[in-house]
A and B are shown apart, each in its own frame.
Chain A
């Protein structure tokens, strides 16, 4: 390839030629080029398709995380990336046996219409469009409503230590095992077929019967999703009550900034998806994050103080929940590639307004970062890929700092490892000191030597005009749910989110009661502290 280019005398001439319409595909040299990916690489329709499909399969192939026969939940918003992901899974399952993807997919969609200012009719209409797509896929699907957060159990906030037995065998063994079973099943079916042939049952009827079975099973699982997450609603139409819709709206209107709203929504959405996966016994979740999306998310998360969890938030696999793993198989596609694929191959998508739709560029950190990255990308076309590659080289730092500490606790909301037990000379401590110094203090206390981790100078305390100086180790008031106590259960970034909330009492019950439980446990632990022996080994479980 390189030699070919050198043959041209005039480079400039060659460049202009590279972008002409009647050009041939640079790969097969036959088809008419329809799309230019990367710099100047023109592909024809079928080569682009091969390239696109290969990327998806290669991503799953090289990571070797999805075991054959595993149930995988596809999180679908209806947007271009997740729809494209669904299309790839369908494609992979339609292949001939040797190349067929070997997992069984299901779909989950979270309806967030309640907080995005949509009426029941509008939501209904969107859902109908989405259901049509889901039904066409033939996969079981689950539609979950944001209102259902009020029915989530506490256990959502407890990460399960992954049992090593579940996939004790290595990937290759598992694949061999699976193929063996498949072969046996095939032989079994063939034998039955011959028997049935004798009974004059035609092949097509056989398939039809199978299909019927399949669709009934889909319907069954659909029903299940309704029954498990919801009691029967008054109208019979929605699996939640009007009061719950109001409660969700009230919760979000109590959050003062769009930045915090976005973070809260994302947290709740993750909890709902996780709950669905656990309930329906899916062991993997696939999220449709494109490379462009991830670059934006990386910068956003840095700006939100989530540096410690960048790797789990944006990596290919995310194991924060322990039992269920999140995968991001679309992370090597740029949003442009996806848009072209969807257009060329008529992948259906559904537009749903989000929290920040029609918001200005400076409405939230998320919006700002998105427009910043997009603008920079036009000036410096390597921005997205550079940011993305930078993230590939990152690790979570806090894990090794904390592993020595008694309990590697996780953040109540995002379930990431706490990043607040940092050394004294750090941005976190410096902020606490600044807050403390700006509050009222008795003069004899002036030279502050050590600020306890539990600073109490949050907005609420400030409003009351005083600052209780709890020293670390002093008795914790048993009266619960003061913002201060709650904050200590959160990571740096989730603290910032919660500080933007007017009141904690509007949070769903499962969050509040889990907070309560953790506080009690911490108190008990403190009481028995002197009798506890240090763990022998750091390979102890996280929980």
Chain B
């Protein structure tokens, strides 16, 4: 039996919103989705008139929808933003090269400028080379840390005021759960913030923070957006996988659970006497870091010295010697060399 749209009550509904359970027609859904993103942007005061905003574009559904919605809203509500697509090429054959083709098409479709920064030019290593050294077990650590910094470096080159990423509600909820499971109290506190990195670094924001992943897919599907949907060829982060599976199960029991997790995350606060890492800068590259050396520099040092495990786990004691380019003892080296494939 066809159901009428619960919003306009004229057209027939074509979908049931995963977030609220309402049945909507295509146009009402587009309108609601865009309007919600607009509400998020205005209520959190994400942008100011005349700013240059870099959109982290991977070619995947989230960033494609983000780029599309931002362009639409920028015109509809006269944000006066100067939008630029910003992509990172990790150097993963069979994955990133294909998705970057999508980004290049998007650039044409949306008529936005595009900047690509690659691991190879920034670090001298592609992910393919890193995986050869590190194996498939901890490679996501390298990729994640490098990408975060690469995006910032690209943003600095373009002199943008802000970077926005396509993180959706599911991603945020997943991160809340994961940080809770890992006991990472510092990240737990930061991870629900819609804008991060105020000091020194270029602020990053997540306009799709309250958009369900499923609605993003629906939006992209009905808008017939051109996006790339293949999992990375290197194994996904195992521990996040647990949190992800758990969240999907939660959603299947009670769809509002995703928002509930975010609500919980937003209302958590940490006791004042709990020790927090102090934010400083990296002694080598000047990037924000809570240690003497930032994670990216430690990982890179490990790769260059042929000690890939240097950045896996905690080896803070070695930082001062790494900074001064001093060699490590044989025993330490032996420990950091072994890679179990």
Residues in chain A within 8 A of chain B (CB atoms) = 257, 259, 298-299, 301-308, 310, 362, 364-365, 368-369, 372, 376, 383, 386-387, 389-390, 393-398, 419, 422, 424-431, 433-435, 437-441, 446, 448, 462, 465, 492-493, 496
Contacts and interface: CB of A to CB of B under 8 A. Distances in A.
Given A307-B267, A394-B268, A428-B263, A439 B7 contact: yes
A425 B270 contact: no
B124 interface: no
Contacts of B24: 438
B300 to A, nearest CB: 29
Main secondary structure of the interface of A (DSSP, over half): helix
Contacts of B252: 362
13 contacts: A299-B181, A307-B263, A310-B268, A362-B249, A368-B253, A393-B185, A425-B40, A425-B45, A431-B256, A434-B17, A434-B20, A437-B7, A493-B260
Given A434-B19, A439-B6, A387 B266 contact: no
B249 A496 contact: no
Contact of B180 (A299, A304, A438, A465): A299
Interface in B252-281: 252-254, 256-257, 259-272, 274
Given A304-B257, A307-B266, A430-B36, 20 more contacts: A299-B177, A305-B256, A308-B264, A308-B268, A386-B181, A395-B271, A396-B269, A419-B267, A425-B45, A428-B263, A430-B40, A431-B19, A434-B36, A435-B20, A437-B31, A438-B7, A438-B24, A440-B7, A446-B35, A496-B256
B181 A431 contact: no
B253 A390 contact: no
B180 A302 contact: yes
Contacts of B201: none
A483 to B, nearest CB: 16
Task: List the 10 shortest-distance A-B pairs measured between CB atoms, nearest first.
Answer: A307-B264, A305-B260, A397-B269, A425-B44, A438-B22, A308-B267, A430-B210, A424-B43, A437-B32, A427-B263
Interface in B15-49: 17, 19-20, 22, 24, 28, 31-32, 35-36, 39-40, 43-45
B36 A425 contact: no
Nearest to A400: B269
B85 interface: no
B250 interface: yes
Contacts of B259: 305, 427, 430-431
Main secondary structure of the interface of B (DSSP, over half): helix
B33 to A, nearest CB: 9
A368 B182 contact: no
B264 A422 contact: no
B193 to A, nearest CB: 10
B242 interface: yes
Interface string B210-241: 10000000000000000000000000000000
B246 interface: yes
Nearest to B172: A427
A437 to B, nearest CB: 4
Given A427-B259, A434-B19, A462 B266 contact: no
A390 B177 contact: no
A370 to B, nearest CB: 12
Nearest to A450: B43
Nearest to A459: B21
A387 B7 CA distance: 42
A437 B37 CA distance: 12
B6 A302 contact: no
Nearest to A398: B267
A448 B43 CA distance: 12
Given A306-B264, A427-B263, A448-B39, A441 B253 contact: no
B98 interface: no
Contacts of A259: 253-254
A302 B188 contact: no
B37 to A, nearest CB: 10
B102 to A, nearest CB: 29
Contacts of A365: 250, 253-254, 257
B176 interface: yes
Contacts of A303: 250, 257, 260-261, 264
Greatest chain A CB density within 10 A among B182, B259, B268 is at: B268
A178 B257 CA distance: 50
B9 interface: yes
A387 B181 contact: yes
Contact of B274 (A393, A435, A438, A448): A393
Contacts of B257: 303-304, 365
Given A386-B181, A429-B43, A368 B260 contact: no
Nearest to B195: A425
A19 B39 CA distance: 60
A394 B182 CA distance: 14
A427 B210 contact: yes
Interface in B157-186: 176-177, 180-183, 185
B266 A426 contact: yes
B157 to A, nearest CB: 30
Greatest chain A CB density within 10 A among B17, B260, B265, B272 is at: B260
Contacts of B36: 430, 433-434, 437
Greatest chain A CB density within 10 A among B31, B181, B270 is at: B181
A369 B247 CA distance: 10
Contacts of A448: 35, 39
A496 B268 contact: no
A389 B194 contact: no
B269 A394 contact: yes
A407 to B, nearest CB: 19
A492 B266 CA distance: 12
Nearest to A397: B269
B7 A422 contact: no
B8 interface: yes
Contacts of A426: 263, 266
A447 to B, nearest CB: 8
B264 A394 contact: no
Nearest to A310: B268
